[in-house]
Amino acid sequence: AQKVTQAQTEISVVEKEDVTLDCVYETRDTTYYLFWYKQPPSGELVFLIRRNSFDEQNEISGRYSWNFQKSTSSFNFTITASQVVDSAVYFCALTENRDDKIIFGKGTRLHILP
Amino acid sequence: GAGVSQSPSNKVTEKGKDVELRCDPISGHTALYWYRQSLGQGLEFLIYFQGNSAPDKSGLPSDRFSAERTGGSVSTLTIQRTQQEDSAVYLCASSLVASLSSYEQYFGPGTRLTVT
């Protein structure tokens, strides 16, 4: 069975600090996709990234970066130089080879303090 | 370019009543998904539609829950005989087709359901 674990329920950091959100997944498939979504206070989830299981290269997008390590089944998300607008709930998610269904972790609530 | 819309945004209902939640996907999106977000429980998949068909209903929590989609557009999630444990935010999402490896899901703002 597939499973996504976000062990950090809530994190608070001071603005401009770097913060890493952890995500560990379980799957039996060799082909799968990993995602991160952001849910700001408005409630609408916003897609951040999709990564397939064959691409272990780290990705950087502005202040956001993602570290995918198959050896530890982790797909961690780092925000550098955090800003108050980064405050949100962040969800890690997984689909398997059957890609019409996505399983979400329970989310990490991130507070960026001014 | 309207996004996914959901109505009502908030619904308070008495235990035992039926409720209908509506989702209007992005125009042209053939896939539509329903999720439930309960406090501390993350997002729970309920059901999805490809066109008007629901290939996977496995996430519906009980037979009190049903969903339909007509005309390949608007979908309605119905909860009969509501219980307090049904209180949650119900999120709808749509994508061009039901292939999440290729197509992004776009989420609506959700309907907050409170059963008293």
Read off the pLDDT of residues B5-59 as tens digits, 9 standing for 90 and up: 999 999 999 999 999 999 999 999 999 999 999 986 788 999 999 999 998 888 8
Q: What percent of chain B has pLDDT over 70?
A: 98
Q: Is B103 on the interface with A (CB under 8 A)?
A: no
Side-chain half-sphere CA neighbours of A28 within 13 A: 2
* A80 DSSP 8-state letter: S
CB contact (8 A) between residue B42 and residue A43: no
The residue in chain B having the minimum alpha-carbon distance to the alpha carbon of residue A45 is B107
Other CB atoms within a 10 A radius of the CB of residue B16 amount to 10
Q: What is the pLDDT of residues A23-82, one digit of tens each?
A: 999 998 888 999 999 999 888 899 999 999 998 888 889 999 999 999 999 999 999 999
* Confidence bin at B1 (pLDDT 50/70/90): low
Give the mean pLDDT of B63-82: 95
Q: What is the pLDDT of residues A47-64, one digit of tens each?
A: 999 999 998 888 889 999
* Confidence bin at B107 (pLDDT 50/70/90): very high
Asked if residue B91 lies in contact with residue B34, where contact means CB atoms within 8 angstroms, the answer is: yes
- Give me the residue label for tokens 């770097």: A18
Instruction: Return d(Cα B68, Cα A64) in angstroms, integer.
Output: 38
Asked if residue B4 lies in contact with residue B25, where contact means CB atoms within 8 angstroms, the answer is: yes
Whether the ω angle into residue B8 lies within 30 degrees of 0, i.e. cis, is yes
Distance from A43 to chain B by nearest Cα, in Å?
5
Instruction: Return d(Cα A73, Cα B73) in angstroms, integer.
Output: 37
CB contact (8 A) between residue B42 and residue A99: no
- Give me the residue label for tokens 């235990």: B15
* A90 DSSP 8-state letter: E
Instruction: Return d(Cα B6, Cα A19) in angstroms, integer.
Output: 33
Strand pairing partners for B92? B34
Instruction: Return d(Cα B54, Cα B61) in angstroms, integer.
Output: 15
Q: Is B99 on the interface with A (CB under 8 A)?
A: yes
- Under 8 Å CB-to-CB from B45, ≥6 apart: which residues? A101, A102, A103, A104, B33, B34, B35, B59
